[in-house]
Structure formats: structure tokens, C-alpha cells
Chain A
Amino acid sequence: MYHGYNGPVAPESVALQCRGLSKRYGDVTAVDGVDLTVLRGECFGLLGPNGAGKTTTIEILEGLLPADAGQLSVLGQQWARDATSLRPRLGIQLQDTQLADKLTVHETLRLFRSFYRTGPTVDALLDTVALGAKRDAWVSTLSGGQTQRLSVACALAGQPELLFLDEPTTGLDPQSRRQLWAVLEEFRRQGGTILVTTHYMDEAHALCDRVGIMDHGRLIALGTPRELVASLGADHVVEFAVTGGVALADAAVRQLAGVRDWRREGAHLSLATSELHLTVPALLDLLRAHGATLSQLTTHSATLDDVFVTLTGRQLGDE
């Protein structure tokens, strides 16, 4: 599997680098030896199911949690030594912060802006996240999408070089998610670096230059979304189920034309194939030979979700 940048990288082009990062809570190892390099100007996504260790990892990188082991440098500085000069260079959005209900949007941004020496004006921040119309509304009256955009605006208040976002679009409707993506794309267009965690593969696809897939505290895959999908060796997935108690022999299914990988989950089978146009007719022939009837048949292009399933045997959305 491809593991990101192996060749030499100029130190000034590295935004963040960690080696062997680990964190334990009692008997549970939340983060287990994570190596990561994020380049300046890049959008890097940490992808994984809930409980994979994404939040613990990002909070260590943000200097909010101490690591038990490992080396970490952020924008060429170390938390232990340079916290005071490092803090103002970062923008941070936490997963479950509730901003004060009874302050207005403008008052909230003014408060966060006051913590930084330099940065855009409050009005410019409002424009950036398209909340100008909500300037004087209480935070408690905002929709989920508006609340998240305000939260991102607070993270942008100090004109950060590096922006950390922890599950910024969880629970948002598709339109709100796209609005937030637009804000992040604008930040990148101006040269900013982003590290974002998500459990939506489409978000990783849409936003990220590279993704790292996490499971059980480990980084199990690293690369561009395209590279990771290509690593499956198959670009389509066929899922089907048959009626009646007909049992298809595993060997027969595996030998169908074009099939690279297959999985059985109850009555459902899924096949990863590199040649959809050969696999589907062959499958239909096989079913006819066994006198079986399809009760369900779907195909889709392979995604990061399929990469996760192939690596772990579980769905990304499983909790």
C-alpha cells in the first residue's frame, strides 16, 4: 500500500509531522503509533469510523492533549516549548463545542477576534462564512449549518496558517455541507493548510488532497483518494442477494470473470470487480445454472468506503 511521501521533503514545506504518536486511556489504546506528514497548502483528511481515535489524534496535534509517546512538530514548532507563539498560528474547531447561546453572532466573533493580534475584521469574517444576515441573531437561533459556519469563523479569527476541523459537517444536510466546503475551499485558495477528520467518505473525496484511514487507533492506509480506490484493483462493486435457500458455492463466485475480491454478509454478497461488463453476465449465467432468482442487484463505482470495507471487513458507517 502507498504510504504518502517517502522521498525527501523540504522542512519549510511541512505543516505538521508526527512519528509514533501514542495515547492510552487505562487499558484502551486510543492512538497507537501514528506517523503522519501534512504539507503546507494541503487539505489532509483523517477518515475512520467513530471510536477509531481520530479525535484523540487531532487533539494531540492541537496541543490540547499530551501524547504518551512520539514526536510531534507543528509549523516547525513544539508544543512543550513554543505553545505561546504556536497558538495564534492555528485555527481550531472542536467536535462538540457549544458556543454561548445568548450572545449574538457578531458578539461571539468579536470575542474570539479579541484573542488574536492580527486577523480579518469581524465583518470580513461574517462575509467569509456568509452569516452577514445573521449578524445580530442569538447563537441559539441558528440552524445546524449556520452554527458550524460560525464555529469555523471563530477558528478563522486569527488568520491561521493551519486549520484543524473535527467532524465539521456531522449531522448537517447536504446543502449546509456544501456551503461549509465552499468556506474551506476559499481558505485553501488563500494558501491555508487544513487537517480535517470525518467519517463521510464523500467529504474526504470532495475536500481532501490526501486521506489517512484510521481504525482502532492505527493509520491503516494513506494516500490520495484516487490512489486508495485504485489500490482495490477494482473500480466497481456489485452487490446482490438471491431468493430461496439456494447456496452458491464460494469458489464458483470467486472465479467469475473480473472479480478481484468478494464478501458475504448474511444473504447479501458483494463483489469487487475490475470488469463490470464481464462480471454481471457471468453472474447471471451462474445463477441460471443453479436455478436461483435475484431478489436484489446493485452496482456502484468503488469508493473510499469500499477501501475501508476491504481493509477491515466492516462498513465505515458501522458504530
Chain B
Amino acid sequence: MSERARRGWRDGLQGWWNHPHPLIELTLSRGRQFLRDPEAVFWVFGFPLIMTFALGIAFRSRGPEPVIAGVVDQAGSDQITAALERAGGFTVRLIAIADVERAVRDGRAPVLIVPGTPPTYRFDEARPESQVARLAVDRALQWAAGRRDAFTPIEQPVQTVGSRYIDWLVPGLLGMNIMGSGMWGVGFAIVQARSKKLLKRLVATPMSKAHYLLSQVLSLLLFLGLEVTVIVGFAWVAFDVTVQGALWSLGVVALFGALAFGGLGLLLASRARTVEAVSGLMNLVMLPMWVLSGVFFAATNFPDVMLPAIRALPLTALVDALRVVSNEGQPLSTVAPELGVLTAWGVVSFALSLRWFRWQ
């Protein structure tokens, strides 16, 4: 650094120290209050980590699963059971004759073998695991009866990167968290300041109202950086979840999400007088998105008629875009429609809150 640049820096810092700038001071105040509130820190940082950890443990990949085969409990069942156990890779369940009808239907046995010459396979053609079980059982029993393979293939099991449930879940949790901290971060702080008459006190100074609202957005973005780093880093260390696309693309998607939800938080907080009132409003808005937006299971499970509406929700757009970048490694241009949805939510709610916002 040149002497001149160094002096420039020093003068700048001293200037800031002696003549505090309102935008910087407002942003710092907001940040300090957040970091000094253990409860808020827990909900923004601790809770999603615990959630990721718990779900990661519950849905971790467990290697090849044994095939479940039902054998009807009658003469000849011993030989069949012995043949399956010799072949390996089967869990055999003896099914009473009275239960034969139900066993396939209720999923206790995807395939049911009725001993005889030849044996009978009962299975559901519409269910893939039923089909697979039938093929495996047939192969084992044919082998036991003396059939030999024409050749032995070379097998290469492929573990596709980013295809586990946890890989799919982490971007969902990240999106959900960006929604929560964006809305709570902005909404809660503003309503609290209003209910304590602090907003009114600030308006009694020459403070610029734009500075106040901008400081809310700036502190939101500071914490967004931390939040994304913590969650993505944790998922990487604990479950080996990696981001396939560029990290900066993920950052850009997160930024669009934070601004959309920050705007929504501002809108909900623009009139509410009490923290309780704004909490109710936030839950009312967030709850449907937790369910519909595909955080924990794919939104495509809902009927087709609902999908256009579900896709228009900001959390759906955010989660979909995060997954495209994180799991599929696609460039940002692929998620332009989702970013458009987020921008629309952000712009509309920010414009409405500027109209409706009450300072006292």
C-alpha cells in the first residue's frame, strides 16, 4: 500500500470515528442488537444446523437394501426359505395362508412365493419394488433348481454425486432459513422498535427514513453471508454435501431470496403495532410455504392444478433455484425465471410497504 493510500485509509477511519455516518451507525446498531440476542442467534444459526443434522442422520444412505420376500407358510416353504438364504440378500417373511391376500397389498412382502411345482409368484406389477423383488426371487430359485448364467458380467456400481436425499434437502433448508431470517430479521426489529416508541423517537431526529430502511436491508445482507456460509459449510463437513455449481451463483440466488423476503418482512411490519401481531402474520404467510414449496418433499407431489400457484410462491422459486445451482451445477441463466419471481415479490412488497409504513 502506498503512503498516500495508507493516509487515505487512516483519514477515512478517523473521519468515520469522529463523524459517525447515520447509515453505518444504524446498520451497526441493528447488527449488535441481533448478535447480543441469544434467542435470535439460535433461531437463525443454531436451529437450521440442528435440523440439517437430525434430518441428515435420519435419511443418510445405507448401502444396498435386502430384498424382502414373503413365503406362504405351507408344505415346501422350508426348501424355498433355505434356497433364498443360500443365495443371500433376502429377508424372508413367513406369511400365514389367511394373510395371502393382504400381504402384497399392505406392503409386508413386495413378492409372495406360494410353494409348489412350479412355485407361484404373487406381486404387484404397478410397483417397481415389487417387480425388482420378483426378478431377484426368480433368479435365486432358478439357480437353486440348477440354472447357470451364460456369462458373468463386469459390474460397476455408480454413486452419482449429489443424488442423496440429504443433497436434495440442504438447499431446501437453506431456502427455508433465508425466508425465516429475512422476514423475522426485518419484521421483528421494526415492530419491536415501533412498540417501544423508538421509531417515533427516531423520526423526531433529522434521521433520513430511507437510511433507516436501507440499514435494515444492509444488516440483513451481512447476516445472510454468515448464514449461508455456516449452513453450506456444516452440510459439507458433516454429510459431504457439496455445491455442484459456482459458489458465487449460489450467493446470487441467496441474495435475490433475501431481498424478496426482506421486502415481505417489511410489508408485514409496516403497520403492526405489537410483536405478537406481526408474529401471527408471519406464521400465516410462512406456514403454507413450509408445506407447499418443496422444502422436505418435492412440490410435484401436489395435484397438477396447484403447481402454477405453488411455483409462484417465493420460497418455491428460491428452493428450486438453489437446487438447480447446488445439485445440478447449472449456471445462473438457467434459473432466470425463478430469480424473476423473487424480484417481483421483492419489488412489489417494498413498494407497498413504502406506501403503508407507519412510523408511530
Contacts and interface: CB of A to CB of B under 8 A. Distances in A.
A194 interface: no
Chain A interface residue number, banded: 20 to 34
Interface stretch (B64-72, B204-212, B329-337): B204-212
Contact of A102 (B21, B33, B204): B33
B205 A116 contact: yes
Interface string B8-34: 000000000010111011101100110
Contacts, number: 69
Contact of B29 (A90, A94, A100, A121): A100
Contacts of A99: 198, 201
A114 B21 contact: yes
Contact of B198 (A64, A87, A98): A98
Contacts of A90: 204
A103 B32 contact: yes
Contacts of A64: 200, 203-204, 360
Interface stretch (A104-112, A173-181, A305-313): A104-112
A88 B208 CA distance: 12
A116 B20 CA distance: 9
Contacts of B60: none
Contact of A96 (B20, B21, B197, B204): B197
A114 B25 contact: yes
Contact of B25 (A84, A98, A102, A110): A110
Interface in B177-208: 193, 196-198, 200-201, 203-207
Contacts of B26: 111, 114
A99 B205 CA distance: 14
B22 A114 contact: yes
A97 interface: yes
B200 A158 contact: no
Interface string B195-237: 0111011011111000000000000000000000000000000
B197 A84 contact: no
Contact of A112 (B18, B33, B203, B205): B205
B62 interface: no
A25 interface: no
A241 B205 CA distance: 53
Contacts of B25: 110-111, 114
Contacts of A112: 205
The CB with the most chain A CB atoms within 10 A, among B21, B37, B205, is that of: B205
A101 to B, nearest CB: 8
A97 B198 contact: yes
Contacts of B206: 84, 87-88, 115-116, 158
A103 B29 CA distance: 7
Interface string A111-139: 11111100001000000000000000010
B212 to A, nearest CB: 10
B32 A102 contact: yes
B205 A115 contact: yes
A84 B20 CA distance: 20
A94 B198 CA distance: 9
Q: Which of A62, A110, A157: most chain B CB closer than 10 A?
A: A110
B36 interface: yes
Contacts of B20: 110-111, 113-114
A107 B20 CA distance: 11
Contacts of B205: 87, 92, 112, 115-116, 157-158
A157 B197 CA distance: 19
A138 B29 CA distance: 12
A111 B22 CA distance: 7
B197 A98 contact: yes
B214 to A, nearest CB: 14
A39 to B, nearest CB: 23
Nearest to B202: A115
Which residue, A62, A88, A97, has most C-beta atoms of chain B within 10 A? A97
A111 B198 contact: no
Contact of A62 (B36, B204, B207): B204
A94 B204 CA distance: 9
B33 A103 contact: yes
A92 B204 contact: yes
Contacts of A96: 197
Contact of B200 (A97, A115, A138, A157): A97
B213 to A, nearest CB: 15
17 contacts: A64-B360, A87-B206, A92-B204, A92-B205, A94-B201, A97-B196, A97-B200, A98-B196, A100-B29, A102-B33, A102-B36, A103-B32, A110-B20, A110-B25, A111-B29, A114-B24, A121-B18
Given A115-B205, A115-B206, 12 more contacts: A64-B200, A94-B204, A97-B196, A97-B197, A98-B197, A100-B33, A100-B198, A107-B32, A112-B205, A115-B22, A116-B205, A116-B206
Interface of B: 18, 20-22, 24-26, 28-29, 32-33, 36-37, 193, 196-198, 200-201, 203-207, 360
